[in-house]
Chain A
Amino acid sequence: ETGVTQTPRHLVMGMTNKKSLKCEQHLGHNAMYWYKQSAKKPLELMFVYSLEERVENNSVPSRFSPECPNSSHLFLHLHTLQPEDSALYLCASSQDPDRGFDEQYFGPGTRLTVT
């Protein structure tokens, strides 16, 4: 595997379910990110991890819970979601989160549908 991978690619879940999204980066980067991409809205940064420490949490509802067990893996745990949470969830990584000129490498995303 190369780059940034995400599983599953598609997920349908009920409002009472609990599920997790997984992201893995094979680039040796120090920072990982979760974004939410909804139709007709800008990408929304949800969480940022730097060296496994959460450094950003953009007022995301507590029904989204991130976990970063090491610098290569990032999870997003989901529970009691709402239909408006249906979106494409993108994971990204970069070398150094404090360097504004670093590019971010994105995974293909998980298409989440909440029923």
Chain B
Amino acid sequence: AQSVTQLGSHVSVSEGALVLLRCNYSSSVPPYLFWYVQYPNQGLQLLLKYTSAATLVKGINGFEAEFKKSETSFHLTKPSAHMSDAAEYFCAVSSPSGTYKYIFGTGTRLKVLA
């Protein structure tokens, strides 16, 4: 069975500071991993995804994530936070073995302080 754990339901950073959102996964097969962002009153939007090519994945809006198999982690980072990054971020895992449903984490709400 697969699962995803996002540490910290709320994270606050100052504008211009490093953003680090944590995601750990559990999977018996090599996973596909995703980060989605949800702005208020909107649906989820894909930020980036890992599909077993490069372990460092670059996404939209300056975000990137690194797949670390030894740590079963896929943390999301951005070097410098912007006010517009305030949103809720979801990590998700999917399986290449033919299943078609994501397992989502509980989300991390990012607050950016001026």
Q: Does A103 contact B (CB under 8 A)?
A: yes
Chain A residues lying within 8 Å of B28, measured Cβ to Cβ, are: none
Task: Assess the A101–B101 pair: CB atoms within 8 A.
Answer: no
A105 to B36 alpha-carbon distance, docked (Å): 10
A101 CA to B62 CA, complexed, in Å: 21
- For B70-105 the 0/1 string (1 means CB < 8 A from A) is 000000000000000000001000111111111111
Interface string of A82-97 (1 = CB under 8 A from B): 0000000010101001
Q: How many A-B residue pairs have CB under 8 A?
A: 62
B90 to chain A, nearest CB (A): 7
Where the two chains meet, the residues of A that have a C-beta atom closer than 8 Å to any C-beta of B are: 4, 6, 31, 40-43, 45, 48, 50, 55-56, 90, 92, 94, 97-101, 103-109
Q: Which residue of B lies closest to A104 (CB)?
A: B102
For chain B, residues 29 to 54, give those with C-beta under 8 angstroms from any C-beta of chain A.
32, 34, 36, 41-46, 49, 51
B104/A100 in contact, CB under 8 A = no
For A56, the closest partner residue in chain B by CB is B101
Cross-chain contact A101 with B96 (CB below 8 angstroms) = yes
Interface size counted on chain B using CB atoms at 8 A:
27
For B51, the chain A residues whose CB sits under 8 A away are 101
Distance to closest chain A CB from B39 (angstroms): 10
- Minimum distance in angstroms from A85 CB to a CB of chain B: 19
Within the complex, the shortest CB–CB distance from B33 to chain A, in Å, comes to 10
Q: Which residue of B lies closest to A45 (CB)?
A: B101
Known: A31-B100, A48-B101, A103-B34. A42 touches B43 (CB 8 A): no
With both chains docked as a complex, state the minimum distance between the C-beta of B61 and any C-beta of chain A, in angstroms: 16
* Contact indicator B41/A108 (Cβ below 8 Å): yes
- CB-CB < 8 A to A45: which residues of B? 101-102
Jot down 11 A-B pairs with beta carbons below 8 A, ordered by A: A4-B43, A42-B104, A100-B32, A100-B95, A100-B97, A100-B98, A100-B99, A101-B96, A103-B46, A103-B49, A105-B46
Q: Contact at B106–A97, with CB atoms within 8 Å?
A: no
Given contacts A43-B90, A109-B43, A100 and B100 within 8 Å (CB-CB): yes
Is the pair B100, A99 in contact by a Cβ cutoff of 8 Å? Answer: yes
Contact B42 A108 (CB under 8 A): yes
